[in-house]
């Protein structure tokens, strides 16, 4: 059966698709891009279909139109409409819709590049901005307690592993710290509640280390493209770093709820529950109409 579906897919993508598109264009008077915009609402389904349609095109200019920069989108939209012989004056809605789709596609790629840039920045103690951000995290999470010194066992109170949080940022770099600070700054009450949950005597966990694990989870979901539908549904344009941070906040809150609901026997089982949580979020993201956000404000 697998062999048959492979053959079918090959035939479809090379011959049948172009025949069907040609027939449909003759019948409806509109090309595939126009039909997609007409048959879907603005969101992930539309953007992903437009992205697929352009990438599968045999025209080089169309194929590469998904790969350009955010600044270049207006030019590319014009080029596409010229190639497809769609009048710009007569189809202003289509032009706008196509523009939004391309902004989302190029914007997602740019956002991933920004996220990767932050991840590759190791925490540097000689960089004042890095040090200030770390101290800001302490102040947000422990407003009534002063740090005795920069190197102190107190860091363990917010879930770092040793006297100096520097080494805990390995792998996710400054991205991990920015995520933690964003959560503490924009959802302060929830972040502090999560911290106090994490200090549970029996099934507590290390707040900051779990935070870094969830940064890794968000990062890998973005890298694999799984987060595309989430961003395409959430932002009708270019997604920003704050949107990535907000997805992280969703993960922090939801993981805390998940962990205590599952009642693990101890922190040693973390990886097992982390994977289960990961699978749960992946399943939610497979629905092309979903975007995952925290629904309350602090």
DSSP 8-state assignment for residue 13: I
What is the C-alpha separation between 15 and 222, in angstroms, rounded?
A: 33
CB of 120 to other proteins, least distance (A): 9
CB of 59 to other proteins, least distance (A): 36
Q: Which is nearer to other proteins, 50 or 141 (CB)?
A: 141
Q: Which is nearer to other proteins, 162 or 225 (CB)?
A: 162
What is the C-alpha separation between 141 and 76, in angstroms, rounded?
A: 46
Select from 113, 126, 101 the least CA-distant residue to 32. Answer: 101
CB of 180 to other proteins, least distance (A): 13
Positions touching other proteins (CB under 8 A) are 156, 161-162, 167-168, 170-172, 176, 205-206, 209-210, 212-213, 215-216, 219-220, 266-272
Q: Which is nearer to other proteins, 143 or 201 (CB)?
A: 201
Q: Which is nearer to other proteins, 271 or 295 (CB)?
A: 271
Max intra-chain CA distance, the chain? 76
Q: Which is nearer to other proteins, 53 or 215 (CB)?
A: 215
Select from 77, 113, 72 the least CA-distant residue to 241. Answer: 113
Select from 223, 201, 186 the least CA-distant residue to 297. Answer: 186
What is the C-alpha separation between 111 and 226, in angstroms, rounded?
A: 14
Say whether 21 sits in a helix, a strand or coil: helix
DSSP 8-state assignment for residue 154: G
Select from 295, 230, 292 the least CA-distant residue to 43. Answer: 230
Count Cα neighbours of 90 within 13 Å in the Cβ-side half-sphere: 7
What is the C-alpha separation between 54 and 184, in angstroms, rounded?
A: 41
Q: Which is nearer to other proteins, 73 or 172 (CB)?
A: 172
Q: Which is nearer to other proteins, 131 or 216 (CB)?
A: 216
Query: Phi, psi (5° rounding) for residue 169?
Result: -80, 5
Q: Which is nearer to other proteins, 176 or 239 (CB)?
A: 176
CB of 147 to other proteins, least distance (A): 18
CB of 237 to other proteins, least distance (A): 29
CB of 273 to other proteins, least distance (A): 9
CB of 137 to other proteins, least distance (A): 17
What is the C-alpha separation between 44 and 233, in angstroms, rounded?
A: 5
Please say whether the beta carbons of 206 and 159 come within 8 A: yes
CB of 138 to other proteins, least distance (A): 19
């Amino acid at each position: 059966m697998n062999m048959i579906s492979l053959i079918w897919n090959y035939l479809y993508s090379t011959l049948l698709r172009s025949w069907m598109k040609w027939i449909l264009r003759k019948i409806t008077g509109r090309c595939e891009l126009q039909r997609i915009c007409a048959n879907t609402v603005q969101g992930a389904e539309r953007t992903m279909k437009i992205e697929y349609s352009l990438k599968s095109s045999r025209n080089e200019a169309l194929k590469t139109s998904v790969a350009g920069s955010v600044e270049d989108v207006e030019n590319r939209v014009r080029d596409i409409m010229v190639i497809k012989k769609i009048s710009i004056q007569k189809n202003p809605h289509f032009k706008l819709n196509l523009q939004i789709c391309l902004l989302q596609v190029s914007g997602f790629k740019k956002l991933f590049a920004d996220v990767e840039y932050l991840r590759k920045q190791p925490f540097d103690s000689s960089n004042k901005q890095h040090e200030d951000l770390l101290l800001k995290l302490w102040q947000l999470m422990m407003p009534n307690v002063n740090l005795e010194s920069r190197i102190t066992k107190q860091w363990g109170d917010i879930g770092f592993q040793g006297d100096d949080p520097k080494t805990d940022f390995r792998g996710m770099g400054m991205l991990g710290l920015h995520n933690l600070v964003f959560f503490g700054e924009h959802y302060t009450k929830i972040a502090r509640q999560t911290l106090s949950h994490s200090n549970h005597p029996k099934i507590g966990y290390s707040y900051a280390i779990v935070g870094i694990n969830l940064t890794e989870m968000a990062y890998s979901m973005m890298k694999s493209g799984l987060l595309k539908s989430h961003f395409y549904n959430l932002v009708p344009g270019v997604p920003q770093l704050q949107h990535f941070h907000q997805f992280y906040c969703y993960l922090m809150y939801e993981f805390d709820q998940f962990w205590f609901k599952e009642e693990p026997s101890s922190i040693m089982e973390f990886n097992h529950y982390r994977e289960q949580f990961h699978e749960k979020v992946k399943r939610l993201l497979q629905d092309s109409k979903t975007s995952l956000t925290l629904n309350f404000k602090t």
